[in-house]
Structure 1
C-alpha cells in the first residue's frame, strides 16, 4: 500500500469508537427501510404484523447472544439512553435520603455524568470503587462498599479506552449477596466476549449496535424479569411502559442480525483479531523502545491496544497520521472536547504517559497489510516528532 492509496483510503483502527457495519447487516437494514417499512405498532394490517414479527425475531437474536429472555429486551437509541433509563428509571427522584450509588471511576461518561447529575441535585451519594494503576478493580473494596447498603452498583463489562475486561460474574454474585441492583454497561463487550445475563444475575445490561458491526442510533437495555423502570420518554406506553416511541424497525432488525452473526462468528473472529493486535503491538514495541502498553494486558479486549509514548504528545502523532490512519487519543463520547482522559487520570499515570496516550482498535475487517502499514506510519510519525523535539 503506497502513501497515495493510504490518503485516499485511510486505515481504520478506531473500532472502539464505532465499528464498520457488516455488509450482511446493511442489506437487511435496507430491506426493512425500503420494502418492509411497516410500523410494528400497527395492528390492523399485515405490514404491521410483519414488522412486529421482525422485532420479535431481533429480540430473540439479542437474547440468545447474551443468555437472556426476549421479554427482557427494551429497545433504545443506544447505550447512552439505556444507561440513563437504568439509572434514572430505577431511582426515585427527590428522595428523602440520597440514593447510594457505587461505580467505577473508569465508567463511560454516560454513567459518570448521569450519576454526578443526581449527586449535584442532592438525590444521590456516590462512592467510587478502587482501581490500581492498570485499571483492575479491587474486589475486596467492592465487597466492603456493598456491606454499607447500596441503591445501585455500576460496573462496565469492558473499558472503552484501555480495554480492560472486568469479572462481571464475580461482581454480580457480590451484588446478589447484598441484594443490590447491578447495572453493567456492556456496550464494548457484547459480541466480543461471552456474556451470561441470567446465569450471572445481572439486573440491567446496556447494549449499543454500532459497537458490534450494527447500525448507529439503536441499542437495548436488558431488564431482569421482575424489575420495572420509570420511563424517561412518555407518549404511548410502548414496551411495557418503560420506553415510549415508534420502534426503529430497520435499526432493531440490524442489531438483531449483528447479534446473530456475532453468536456464529465471535470466537473465531476475536482469536484472529487478537493475533493482529499482538502483531501490531510487537511491531511498534520493536521500533519505539519507550512504548508503554496501558491497562490490564492479561484481561483486555482482543482488539484493544492502548499505548503511551512518553515525551511524544499524542496530538502531534494524530496530526501527522490522521489522513492515512484513524486512531484516537481517547474516548469518542466527548467529541470535540480536548481534555485529559478521566480513565488515565483515575489510574494515576504520570503526566507524560497521559499526554502521550493513544488508543488503537483492531477489528473484524482489519487486514494484515493494514497492520503492517499502520506500524510504519506510526513509527515514521514518532521519529519525525522526536527529531523535531531534539532540534529545539
Structure 2
C-alpha cells in the first residue's frame, strides 16, 4: 500500500482485484474480445470456450455442476432473479407465495422481498435470531414444516461476519421440499461450500468479493428448478438470463474462483491471525470496546466493533484520510439510518451508533494492522478528550 493512500480495511465492501485475475481479463478485453454468442468465427469460439472454462472453475469451488451456473452482473441480480423469478408458479396457481427470510439478510434480499409484499405478490415471514445474530434453527424448522414457497438465508453476514450453518439449514429445507436461496457473496472463496451436498437450490455469487472485478457474478441453479427471467432479449443462458455475456468479467470470476480453491485455506488462516491481532490490540488500547456478532463462528477477516457513546461518524471523520473502514454495509453507505442488522440484534442505541465494520483481506500486512490499531485508538482517545472538554 502506498504511503500516500489510506490503509484499506473494507474488504467486505469490495476486494482489490488480484493482479493475476486482472492480467487474464486484459487478454479477453484486448485480444480475444469476441462475443461468446457469435458462432460464425474463431473470436466467438474462443470467447465461448473461456466462458465454459470459467463455469468449470466456479463449479469446482462451490460444488455444483458447470451446467448449473448462470452468469449475472453480480449477487444483487442473482438474488432478484431468484426471488422475482420464483413467484410465477404461485401467481398462475393463485397459491399464496410465502418467503421466509432471515432479518439480517443483505438489502438485496430484504428490499426485493418487501417490494413483492408491497405489490401483494408475497407474504414475508421473518426468522428469529438472538443478540449475537445466531439463527434459531428450531423456529426455522417450525416455519418450514408449515409450508413456504422460498427460504432465504445467507451463508455469511456482510456486516457482523457471522457464518451460518448452511448445511443444516439446507437439510431442513430439503426434508420439507422447500427451495432454498443462499446469498453466498461474502462466503464463497472464504469458507468451504458444497452446493450439491448442502441441499442449496440457488446460490448467489459476486466476483468483487473474492478478488475479481465488479459487475460480474453468478447464480447456481439446481437441476430441475425453473426460474422465469426478469431480463428479456435473446433467450441467452437457457432462457433464464438474456444479454451479451461479460466475457472479461466472467473470465475474471472464473480465475478468481480457481485461485481461491488453491489458496483459500492458507490465506484465511493468515487473515484470521491478523484479525485476532488487531482485535487484541484494540481491546487493549480502547476501554469499553465491544465485539459484535458471534465470535465463535465468523469470517476470518471480519471484525465488527462498537465503542458505546462514541458516534461512528466522528471516528470516520478523523480517520478517513488514513484508514478505510466503514460504519456498515456498502449498499447503505451515506444513508443516515441505523444498520438493520444491528437493529435486528436488538442492541442498545449507543452500541449501534458506535459501530464500525473492519474487513481484512489477503493483501493486508502486519504493518498495516499495527498502524490501524494506533490510528483508531488515537482517534477515539482524541474524541473522548474533546467530549470531556465540551462537558
Partner of 2:389: 391
Cα distance between partner residues in 2 of 1:248 and 1:274: 33
- 1:167 corresponds in structure 2 to 165
How far apart, CA to CA, are the structure 2 residues paired with 1:90 and 1:125?
Answer: 13
Q: TM-score, normalised by structure 2?
A: 0.98
Q: 1:16 aligns with which of 8, 12, 15?
A: 12
Distance in structure 2 (CA, Å) of the matches to 1:267 and 1:130: 31
Q: What are the within-5 Å matches in structure 2 for residues 313-392 of structure 1?
A: 313-392=311-390
Q: Could you report, residue by residue, the CA deviation over 1:266-312 in whole angstroms, capped at 9, with x for unpaired residues?
A: 00000000000000000000011200000000000000000000011
Partner Cα distance (1:353, 1:189) in 2? 26
Counterpart for residue 232 of structure 1? 230
Across the aligned residues of Structure 1 and Structure 2, the Cα RMSD in angstroms comes to 1.0
Equivalences, count: 388
2:40 aligned to 38, 44, 52, which one?
44
Structure 1 residue 94, shift from structure 2 partner: 4.6
Q: Distance in 2 between matches of 1:275 and 1:335?
A: 28
Q: 1:287 aligns with which of 272, 285, 288?
A: 285
Q: Does the 8 A contact of 1:98 with 1:122 survive in 2?
A: no
Q: Tell me the SS of whatever aligns to 2:386.
A: helix
Equivalents in 1 of 2:81, 2:333: separation in Å?
Answer: 22
- Which whole-Å CA distance do the structure 2 matches of 1:283 and 1:322 have between them? 20
User: Any idea what SS the aligned residue of 2:164 has?
Assistant: coil
Q: What secondary structure, in the 3-state scheme, does the structure 1 residue paired with 2:358 have?
A: strand
Q: Distance in 1 between matches of 2:284 and 2:258?
A: 39
1:30-179 aligned at under 5 Å gives the runs 30-92=26-88, 94=91, 96-179=94-177
Matched residues in 2 for 1:118 and 1:377: separation? 44
**2:189 alignment counterpart:** 191
Contact kept? 1:97, 1:123, Cα under 8 Å: no
Any runs of at least 4 consecutive aligned residues in structure 1 with deviations exceeding 6 A, and if so which? Answer: none
- In the alignment, the residues of structure 2 paired with residue 15 and residue 91 of structure 1 have an alpha-carbon distance, to the nearest angstrom, of 34
State the 1:215 CA deviation.
Answer: 0.3
Query: Counterpart of 1:389 in 2: which secondary structure?
Result: helix
Counterpart mapping for 1:268-279 below 5 A: 268-279=266-277
Deviation at 1:98, TM superposition (A): 2.8
Q: Determine helix, strand or coil for the equivalent of 1:233.
A: coil
Secondary structure at the residue paired with 2:196?
helix
Cα distance in 2 for partners of 1:46, 1:389 equals 68
Which structure 2 segments of 5+ residues have no match? none
Describe the SS at the equivalent of 2:40.
Answer: coil
Aligned counterparts of 1:335 and 1:241: Cα–Cα separation in 2: 34
